[in-house]
Amino acid sequence: MSDLRRSWVAGANDPGTDFPLNNLPYGVFSTGALSPRCGVAIGDHILDVASAEERGLTGTDGLLRDARWNPLMAAGPQAWQDFRARLIQLLAEGAEKRAAVEPLLVPMSDARPHMPFAVTEYTDFYACRQHATNVGTMFRGPENALPPNWLHIPIGYNGRASTVVVSGTEIRRPLGQTKARDAAAPEFGPSKRLDIELEIGAIVGTPSQMGQPVTVAQARQMIFGYVLLNDWSARDIQAWEYQPLGPFQAKAFATSISPWIVTTEALAPFAAPAPTREVPLLPYLHEDSPGLYDVALSVEMNGQTISTTNMRELYYSSAQQLAHHASSGCAMRTGDLLGSGTISGPTPENCGSLLEMTWGGANPITVGGEPRTFIEDGDTLTLKGHAQGAGFRIGFGACTGTIRPAPDI
């Protein structure tokens, strides 16, 4: 495990910060005086790297000109490594160019986050065995909990890039068609069983060609970084629509991501192996090195922690998901976002959705002294995550969203 890299930015050396020099995640921010631009989180500040590029400090030659990270993402792994190395030189303790860089620091408290990249396509997977088992048990019984293909294939569905939003964006309760079990006909109206899904999102940097599969090793090299991801879900809409083609409107209305992209390089010291395979995977999904990460995750409702889990609970890594996605010859593009699927552990306190925590609403949890099942208007849900090092942490920042009432119909 690596040690803390010390920075001349004092806040970056605080053991409790999400953003030490070891991290340097990428986001887009604005202030009252600054229009949206690319920034790098360091301690309790943001380095305005768009301005740093204009001053010739980053070596990126216009890649940071737009208020999104897609141009650097498309430039490939060598460009990513060179840029990160340049940042470390600029921000490390004793840096020669501190005097040129220091005026470009913006207090994080003064900044407003924006979407850090343009999402090209969004695919959501179902890659945690405990989550799949829980949901399958609820709907099909324990003997048929896992679909026959689940231990062989990373299952996913194509979502909506148009409704992926940055942390802090308010979410309107969705309208949709639902049908109560004992009702003669469906009805249309606001979802009554609104839920969250705690996930990790992997961001594709370098693209692949249509008709050309990629290996898991190649897929790992294509991944630019990771975000926390909340796949908001309307369970009553989902229950009525999901057969035969899976989720549709129940998932299309909103997906929230954290504002900072944590790079694959920053997470590399925290690589973790996949769980033991019950059945061997086909060769194209073989992973010759650990593909998961030891990232502690939590869910808060209105400021109270209601669940904790870890990214290690996934059965399929993001690289395996990406390799499977491309295996048919599907072209992957810069800015594609792959959701891991809900990450859940073995107990209700380790589950990544209220559906599981409350077992479909049958076992309420206590929040603020009150019994709760699904999300009510006005609730704020917050996802958090970090990898813990020796005296430092690699954090994502919070992924938050507050639910507002459904639109009038």
As a whole number of angstroms, the distance between CA 65 and CA 51 comes to: 9
Q: What is the pLDDT of residues 283-302, one digit of tens each?
A: 999 999 999 999 999 999 99
Residue that terminates a domain, selected from 63, 85, 113 = 113
As a whole number of angstroms, the distance between CA 44 and CA 102 comes to: 13
Residues 97 and 128 in one domain: no
Residue 152 known to be catalytic: no
Residues 275 and 378 in one domain: yes
Is 1 among the domain residues? no
Residues 186 and 330 in one domain: yes
Residues 108 and 143 in one domain: no
**What CATH number is associated with residue 385?**
3.90.850.10
Q: How many other C-beta atoms are found inside a 10 Å radius of the C-beta of residue 287?
A: 20
Residues 106 and 133 in one domain: no
Residues 309 and 374 in one domain: yes
Per-residue pLDDT of the chain in tens (409 residues, 90 and over written 9): 579 999 999 999 999 999 999 999 999 999 999 999 999 999 999 999 999 999 999 999 999 999 999 999 999 999 999 999 999 999 999 999 999 999 999 999 999 999 999 999 999 999 999 999 999 999 888 898 999 999 999 999 999 999 999 999 999 999 999 999 889 999 999 999 999 999 999 999 999 999 999 999 999 999 999 999 999 999 999 999 988 988 999 999 999 999 999 999 999 999 999 998 989 999 999 999 999 999 999 999 999 999 999 999 999 999 999 999 999 999 999 999 999 999 999 999 999 999 999 999 999 999 999 999 999 999 999 999 999 999 999 999 999 999 999 999 8
Residue that terminates a domain, selected from 113, 136, 170 = 113
Range(s) of the domain holding residue 302: 122-404
Is 61 among the domain residues? yes
Residue that terminates a domain, selected from 70, 86, 113 = 113
Q: Give the active site residue among 45, 114, 131, 324.
A: 131
Residues 282 and 375 in one domain: yes
113: tokens are 């986050």
Q: What is the pLDDT of residues 201-259, one digit of tens each?
A: 999 999 999 999 999 999 999 999 999 999 999 999 999 998 898 899 999 999 999 99
Is 2 among the domain residues? no
Q: At 222, is the secondary structure helix, strand, or coil?
A: helix
Query: Running DSSP on this structure, what letter comes out for residue 39?
Result: E
Please tell me the pTM assigned to this model.
0.97
**What CATH number is associated with residue 93?**
2.30.30.230
Residues 191 and 278 in one domain: yes
Residues 170 and 288 in one domain: yes
As a whole number of angstroms, the distance between CA 180 and CA 163 comes to: 27
